[in-house]
Amino acid sequence: MQEWKEMLQLAKEWALEAGKEQIRRAEKPMEMSSKSAAIDLVTEMDVWTESFLTENIRRHYPDHLMKTEESGVYEGDSPYEWVIDPIDGTVNYARGLPFYCISIGIRYKGETVVGVVYAPKLDEMFEAVKNEGAWLNGSRIHTSETKRLDEAVVGSGFPYDKGTTEDNNLPHVQQVVPRLGGFRRTGSAALDLCCVACARLDASWEIKLHDWDVEAGLLLASEAGGQTKVLEEEKGLYALAAAPGIYDELNALIKR
Ligand code: IPD
Ligand code: CA
């Protein structure tokens, strides 16, 4: 659809511009505060990036709906909704670790049709369009052909309430990790999904996510040939994305 391609193009341009500013601004000390836990951070660049993106969207598409990590919901009268995480991996960003990204998903009548994930420090632009495929810096990407869990490298993460509840993903890790080739925790759920899409990881799963963490990344993973599962649970989203050759085995092990 031409309309989707135009939105994709704009989302990429805005993500590139915001990403440059994130890198530039990270050279100086930055204001930050905590949200749900001491390590659940929001930096001034989360806020700046979100305003930059929402203002641009408002200017181009005044009737579009938006859902964003820092400021919430913007109503509108349109079948389109933008789902935005201004920085996924804020803790990494605040510490100078390069694994963070801007994540923009666009829904049409409730279904994700465009996904853009830009990692400024890696200068990597991931993009996907429903039924058209997924790309990294302009080249088509595909999930891995792995069929064996003991050869697979799989990513996951831990929710911010990990110290106060037993539903903190550690039971799943204990069950799954001994069966894997390798395990990684990058600190960005959106980037993990993109890594599944381009076969750097064979799968990833996380619990208690929000839709802005995974909206774009899940489209990337499925358009690259992966199998995905999302459950809306009481405390947030459970999301699993895997190369088709290991999906069933991993899904059965996690039992979520
Ligand atoms: C976080 C990252 C992390 C995941 C957390 C998310 P944020 O997003 O995606 O990998 O484990 O649950 O909240 O806070 O950096 O935007
Ligand atoms: Ca996030």
Domain that holds residue 42: 2-141
Residues in the chain: 256
Distance in Å, CA 68 to ligand 2 centroid? 10
Pocket of ligand 1 (CB under 6 A): 69, 85, 88-91, 157, 159, 187-189, 206, 209, 213
- To the question of whether residue 85 is assigned a binding role by annotation, the answer is yes
Residue 254 has pLDDT above 90, yes or no: yes
Tell whether 136 and 173 lie within a shared domain: no
Res 64: pLDDT = 96
pLDDT in tens, 99-118: 999 999 999 999 999 999 99
pLDDT in tens, 114-169: 999 999 999 999 999 999 999 999 999 999 999 999 999 999 999 999 999 999 99
Tell whether 104 and 220 lie within a shared domain: no
- To the question of whether residue 213 is assigned a binding role by annotation, the answer is yes
**Rounded-to-integer distance, Cα 79 and Cα 107, Å:** 8
Tell whether 238 and 153 lie within a shared domain: yes
Tell whether 221 and 110 lie within a shared domain: no
Tell whether 162 and 96 lie within a shared domain: no
Residue 29 has pLDDT above 90, yes or no: no
Domain boundary among 92, 110, 141: 141
Q: Indicate which CATH number applies to the domain containing 158.
A: 3.40.190.80
Res 31: pLDDT = 85
By the 10 Å C-beta count (0-12 exposed, 13-18 middle, 19+ buried), 75 is classed as exposed
Residue 10 has pLDDT above 90, yes or no: yes
Q: What mean pLDDT, rounded, does the chain reach?
A: 96
Ligand nearest to the CA of 187: 1
pLDDT in tens, 34-72: 888 888 888 899 999 999 999 999 999 999 999 999 888
Task: State the DSSP string of 128-167.
Answer: EETTTEEEETTEE--------GGG-EEE----TTTTT-S-
Tell whether 162 and 68 lie within a shared domain: no
Q: What mean pLDDT do residues 245-250 have?
A: 98
**Rounded-to-integer distance, Cα 239 and Cα 165, Å:** 19
Residue 253 has pLDDT above 90, yes or no: yes
Minimum CA distance residue for ligand 1 atom 15:
89
List b or e across 232-246, with b for residues whose CB sees 16 or more CB atoms inside 10 angstroms: eeeebbbbbbbbebb
The number of distinct structural domains making up the chain is: 2
Ligand nearest to the CA of 190: 1
Q: Indicate which CATH number applies to the domain containing 7.
A: 3.30.540.10
Res 80: pLDDT = 97
- To the question of whether residue 69 is assigned a binding role by annotation, the answer is yes
Tell whether 169 and 190 lie within a shared domain: yes
pLDDT in tens, 170-222: 999 999 999 999 999 999 999 999 999 999 999 999 999 999 999 999 999 99
